[in-house]
Structure 1
Amino acid sequence: MQNETIKVLVPKLPEVGAVLPYLKRIDTTRIYSNYGPLNSEFLSRLRELTGAKAVTLTSNGTTAIELALRVRAAPGRRYCLMPSFTFIASAHAVCNAGLLPALVDVSAETLTLTPEIAEAALESFDERPAAVLVVSAFGAPPDLAAWAAFEARHDVPVVFDAAAAVTAISGVGTQPACVSLHATKVLGIGEGGAILSNDTALNERTTAMTGFGFLGAERVSAIRGGNYRISEYTAAVGLAAMDALPARMEQLKSLTQAYRKRLDGKAVRFQNGVGDQWVTMTLNVIVPENTEQDTIDRLNAAKVEWRHWWGLGCHRHPAFADVPRADLSGTDALARRVIGLPFHDGLTEENLDRIAKCLP
């Protein structure tokens, strides 16, 4: 109905009936955590989905980034080069890994840090960074080959924050890709994350770090870690979510195409490839310059929820206002124009029409 607010996001995890067969297996084994059989099966299916030889499951996507940086960052260096335009969890993960965020700009075309921007930014700071954290924009696949070449040229380790891109990742190499399995992601399990790579030595260390650093000898803490595991119950939800994933991805593709049809000929644009080459749970449009406030006013008047999913940049948060930064004028100009639209299975044709009328 016209007077009802259109919600921006309504997550959906597997229903009880889909999870129940896996829960019964837990009752049979009486293994509830500590890398149990459902955990192992979920790992195997993640490897199959992404093509990664090695997977570490973590308690959430932020922890995945933290652990990957702790293993990969060059010792004796302080900075982690990262885009300011990202969800704030990225900056917190950098700090939790013992590094200092060094914020740089992004491409207005891809919404991401590119190797070219990173190379230019290397001259902006007083020392070489310990690592670069490359963020995938809302589920788009990162350019793995370009960043492998960057690392080879500059001897600066690269880690990918591919939080929403678990279904878009393929061809992962030794540079780890960290994904989120939060309820708001395409493959959502409630809360969880994973580190994907082809580096089995890195995988051995990051997996040990999720269980108090036990490595080699039983119950001997060889490296510093913590308790970052998922339970068998979480793995059960993950396996049920895997079962439903093909249908879910088709549904998201169909919804994206419904938006594309309605917005054809308008001034807004989508991210490259969304709905065709990859899918997302947070569909964004980029509106033309100087139209963002009018667009937001129309959405509000029509009772359409919207989001700046990443805010206006990490440098706008008080907790990170004083960290080193390069020129961020591109981020300042871009962030307000990236608007998250309602995107979930509860949207009707009338809802989509109402939303489309608000966009330039």
Structure 2
Amino acid sequence: MASWETLVVGRPNVGERERLMRRLDGVLDRLWLTNNGPLVREFEERIARVAGTRHAVATCNATTGIQIAARAAGIRPGDEVIVPSFTWVATAHALEWIGIVPVFCDVDEATANADPEHVARLIGPRTRGILAVHVFGRPCEVDELTRLADEHGLVLLFDAAHALGCTYRGKPVGGFGTAEIFSFHATKFVNSVEGGVIVTDDDAYAARVRALRNQGIDPAGRIAGPGTVARMNEFCAAMGLTSLDAIDTIVTANRRNHAVYEEHLAGVPGVTVRGQLPGERANHQYLVIEVEQARAGISRETVLEDLLRYDVHARRYFSPICHQVEPYRSAPERHVPLPLPRAEALASRVLSLPTGPTVEPDDVAAICRVIRDSVSRAGRRLVA
């Protein structure tokens, strides 16, 4: 069994180190470190194949990817974009930072994704777009959100940070809406240390994205307008390619661990393992449980404390949620026109547990014993 110190949510998957070093040697031999180098272009081509899209545009991170995707779609400062509150705060911050107003919607507790009915109620005269999130890799209600966007003339974007390699109705995540944005941060199951990719099937839109990430310079080398510097460098692309080489091994380990968690936590009162969309391909990047205090007799916080005592570094993904942190908490009238009870309830229950190739089935069994013991002790206290 691996040492407890290795049991951390989001530990980087490096892949085959020798392949990485060969790629890095090639970068240094070519002296082409950035500015759309050959490894970045190869990384883009491979991501486009995984996503099933015509275009993939690499960025230095997914936060700038969201900003560029929104600007390229014509969303401007002062416009409102509907965003689920149950997501990592970077989704909202990316918009807020460039003057776009994130308006938070509630979620469906079963999927953890944006509730289309609530989204529909939030659409107003200043609404310009919807930025939905495939939370924990489970695809959103794409069809219903697409219908809403088309009906109201809205831009539809997807934060697909968790969903590389997943499918919706048999189609790879990546080709929905105007664009989708993947994250390749070091904590993601496929990573480029830091990085993001915008994927789309729209040729004209892709050209605008490429110009915006490169100081506004168009394919002819002319400065077509203002842009930013959001290019991915060759070193990050080398890591991304090496991590992509190992994607099947990583997903296999994730799927195995998910099954072991389900087996060992079956029957534990108030503890459930969140599943993926039935019949679809999933990357199982996140292993998420819910702790329902009324049934378990113990809070999510107590389970987390017990795990930390054994150096199992679980995470509250996501808590607090977006509208509970600054600057949104101090301006609810601007960002949260309605209560969000389901998102808040879900945020109080979820806990992400370690998975990935460095986590063995014996590790999973040991983690589950800690959780079972926590709930069992709570049960004995209640009886007493």
Same fold at TM > 0.5: yes
1:86 match? 87
Against the structure 1 CA distance between its residues 346 and 187, is the aligned structure 2 distance closer, same or farther, given a 3 Å change threshold?
Answer: closer
2:207 match? 204
Q: Take 1:89 and 1:44, find their aligned partners in 2: how far apart are those partners?
A: 26
1:286 match? 290
Residue 320 of structure 1 aligns to a residue whose secondary structure is coil
**Residues 226-272 of structure 1 deviation map (CA, whole Å, 9 limit, x = unaligned):** 11001122212222122111112111111111112112233422333
Worse-matched range after superposition: 154-163 or 262-271 = 262-271
Tell whether 2:312 aligns with 1:308. Answer: no
Q: Take 2:328 and 2:213, find their aligned partners in 1: how far apart are those partners?
A: 27
Q: Take 2:145 and 2:245, find their aligned partners in 1: how far apart are those partners?
A: 32
- 2:194 aligned residue (180, 187, 191): 191
Amino acid at match of 1:352: V
1:176 match? 179
Worse-matched range after superposition: 35-44 or 276-285 = 276-285
In the TM superposition, structure 1's runs of 4+ consecutive aligned residues that sit over 6 Å from their partners are none
TM-score, normalised by the number of residues in structure 2:
0.85
| Count of paired positions | 356
Alignment of 1:1-360 (within 5 A): 4=4, 7-9=7-9, 10-74=11-75, 78-122=79-123, 127-168=125-166, 170=172, 172-218=175-221, 220-266=222-268, 267-273=270-276, 277-290=281-294, 291-321=299-329, 322=331, 323-325=334-336, 326-357=338-369, 358-359=371-372
Worse-matched range after superposition: 11-20 or 298-307 = 298-307
Worse-matched range after superposition: 96-105 or 51-60 = 96-105
Q: Take 1:6 and 1:333, find their aligned partners in 2: how far apart are those partners?
A: 30
**Residues 145-186 of structure 1 deviation map (CA, whole Å, 9 limit, x = unaligned):** 332222111212111011111121516145211110111112
> Do the aligned partners of 1:58 and 1:230 also contact (CA within 8 Å) in 2?
yes
Q: Take 1:343 and 1:26, find their aligned partners in 2: how far apart are those partners?
A: 32
Q: CA RMSD in A?
A: 2.5
TM-score, normalised by the number of residues in structure 1:
0.90
Percent of pairs identical after alignment?
Answer: 26
Q: Take 2:181 and 2:18, find their aligned partners in 1: how far apart are those partners?
A: 30
Can you give the 5+ residue segments of structure 2 that lack an aligned partner in the other structure? Answer: 376-384
Amino acid at match of 2:275: N
Q: Take 1:174 and 1:113, find their aligned partners in 2: how far apart are those partners?
A: 15
Amino acid at match of 1:328: L
> Do the aligned partners of 1:77 and 1:130 also contact (CA within 8 Å) in 2?
no
Worse-matched range after superposition: 197-206 or 287-296 = 287-296
- Once the two structures are TM-superposed, the CA of residue 117 in structure 1 deviates from its matched residue by 1.9
2:382 match? none
> Do the aligned partners of 1:60 and 1:191 also contact (CA within 8 Å) in 2?
yes
Q: Take 1:75 and 1:351, find their aligned partners in 2: how far apart are those partners?
A: 48
**Residues 108-161 of structure 1 deviation map (CA, whole Å, 9 limit, x = unaligned):** 111110322201233xx6x33121110111222333333222211121211101
Worse-matched range after superposition: 168-177 or 103-112 = 168-177
